[in-house]
Amino acid sequence: MLELAIGIILAGCGIGAGLALIAGIGPGIGEGNAAAKACEAIGRQPESKSDVTSTMILGCAIAETTGLYGLVVGILLIFVAPNMFVNILLNAIK
């Protein structure tokens, strides 16, 4: 019975980590769209290149934080959470 509970904990952490890492898709799509629109804007008004570029880089940096948060959560679920949850389970049984 204990082995089954530990297996469920490990499976839940693995599935949660996989779902958390899906958060990396959004920033990739958003940054690609931002770069495409920046190229269009620079093509229409080449004199505004520096303003468009700096705004695009700031927006991409902010969008990338979403992916980084997902990566941190995924790493925590893989390396930290299973041990913590197993310890809680073992303490509850005692």
Give 25-71 pLDDT, tens digit per residue: 988 898 999 999 999 999 999 999 999 999 999 989 988 898 899 99
Q: How far apart are CA 85 and CA 15, in angstroms?
A: 15
Q: How many distinct structural domains can be found in the chain? A: 1
Q: For residue 70, what is the domain's CATH number?
A: 1.20.20.10
CA angle centred on 91, ends 85 and 94, rounded to 5°: 145
Structural domain including 82 reads 2-93
23 pLDDT band, cuts 50/70/90, is confident
User: What pLDDT, on a 0 to 100 scale, did the predictor assign at position 73?
Assistant: 94
Rounded to two decimals, what is the model's pTM?
A: 0.76
Instruction: State the Cα–Cα distance between residues 14 and 6, nearest whole angstrom.
Output: 12
Which residue is associated with the tokens 């969008």?
A: 63
pLDDT one-digit tens code per residue, 65-90: 988 999 999 999 999 999 999 999 99
